Each structure stands twice: as structure tokens, then as C-alpha cells.
Amino acid sequence: MHVAICDDNVADRKQLERLLDRESDTRLHTTGVLYIDSFGNSDALLRAPMIYDVFFIDMTNSSMNGAEVAAALRNVNVKAPIILCSSTIDYTQMDTLPEDVYHIIKPIATDKLKEMVSLAYDIKSSLEPTIEIRDEKETFYVVPDEIMYVRPDAYLSEITLSDGTTRKMLGTLIDFSYMLEKYPQFAFTGKNAIVNVHYVSSITFRTVVMKNGDKLPLSGAERKKLIETYQTHNI
């Protein structure tokens, strides 16, 4: 399991590294090794957060505090557990924390750390894989079944998610379809859309109606395959 520490207190950061190294040794022949990366600033952490299965965060003397780092991770759709380590900032007293954040108090007790690592393993085993979406400015991660449909938008692809939000991705529909090859619930409606049949409400002769009411054109060449995919995944 890959663990990220983000703490601007060097002594605390090194102590947590030592505790996690010891925990890794105890798990060598059971759940496996812990691979630990340690960061003293949030910018470095946020460059590639999706490789981590759990985050231990406490930032007290930087431009972003630990709660704000947690919010930034959730904003790019990081699903892994985030554990806020309370020290000079008591994160348990904040009422603006993102969802699914856990707490531990410094100095960190060995039994509490073991509990958090076990929790992270349990959550990791239950999480769906995500795919990476890049536009011209940012990177976003999304669970495939959160995608409702995708349409071309000039040299970009526009992705409509199940919560109604949209995201842009560099690349064509063909480029995007390669990312979805492992997910059989997706099908082309023609040259102008890929749909997730879990969100299809009805299929007419030339139109696909989505559950949010959006209507997408359907080509005759793709109609039979789309209906077969719809029937297979909506029984």
C-alpha cells in the first residue's frame, strides 16, 4: 500500500515515517509492505496524488493548512482516506472539512496508527478504480460509472458526470474510448457521443434519451450495438 505523509513539521514528519516503517515490518507477511513518501509542502503532494492509498496530513505553517490540503485532494476526486493529524490545529473542531476525513492526535500512538492503517486497507479493497482526465490546466480523476456521456467540443471532449457537472478532456472521442475499453457499459451513439447505458432512459429510432432529459443523436450504424449493450447492462 502506498502512503503519503504531508507535514511541514520536520520532526513530526520523521517520527511518523519511523512509526510507519515499523508498522510496515509487522505487516510484511500479512497485508504487505507500506511504501511511504514524505512531503514538506502541499504543492509536491498535489502533483500526483492518485498513486496513494492513504494520506496523513498536518500543515500548520504553510499557505494551506491540513484541512485545505484535504479539500484540494477531494476537489480532484481523490477517494483514498485522508487522516488529519491534529497538533497546534485541532481539525476535529473545524466544521468545513470535506467528507470522509479521519482524525488522529499527535503525538501519534502506535495502536491508533495501526487502526488507521487497517482502515486504509479496508477502504482500498472497496474502492473502484478511477481514470485520469486532463484538460489544458488541470488533472481530474473520476470513477468510470460516474460518467454519463461524452461529446466532442472542438479539439476537446466534454464529459457530463452523473451529478450534472461537466469536465473537459484533451483528445477526441476515439482517444477517450480507449480509456473505457475495460468498461462494457459504454457505447458510441455515432460520431457525436459515447454514452454510459446505465444512464440511458430510452432509445428511439434516431435519439438516445438520458435520465437527466438530455437527448443525443443516434446513428443507424450504432443503433443495434447500443440496444444490445443497453439490454445487457440494464436487466
Domain-wise residue ranges, the chain? 2-126, 145-233
> Does 2-126 match 145-233 in CATH topology?
no
Q: What percent of the chain stands above pLDDT 70?
A: 100
pLDDT computed for residue 8 by the predictor: 96
Question: Does 185 score more than 90 pLDDT?
Answer: yes
Q: Cell digits for 9?
A: 513539521
Q: Cell digits for 20?
A: 510507519
pLDDT computed for residue 137 by the predictor: 83
pLDDT computed for residue 235 by the predictor: 59
Q: What is the pTM of this model?
A: 0.72
In this structure, of 26-30, 40-44, 51-55, 219-223, the range with the lowest mean pLDDT score is: 26-30
CATH value of 2-126 in 1.10.287.180, 3.90.25.10, 3.50.40.10, 3.40.50.2300: 3.40.50.2300
Question: Does 234 score more than 80 pLDDT?
Answer: no
Q: What pLDDT digit, counting tens, does each position of 46-73 carry?
A: 998 989 999 999 999 999 999 999 999 9
| Averaged pLDDT, 155-180 | 92
Question: Does 100 score more than 90 pLDDT?
Answer: no
Q: Cell digits for 7?
A: 507535514
| CATH numeric code, 145-233 | 2.40.50.1020
Of the CA atoms within 13 Å of residue 30, those in its CB half-sphere come to: 8
The DSSP output letter for 128 is: P
| Averaged pLDDT, 9-36 | 94
C-alpha to C-alpha distances, 218 to 56, 178, 180, nearest whole angstrom: 48, 20, 20
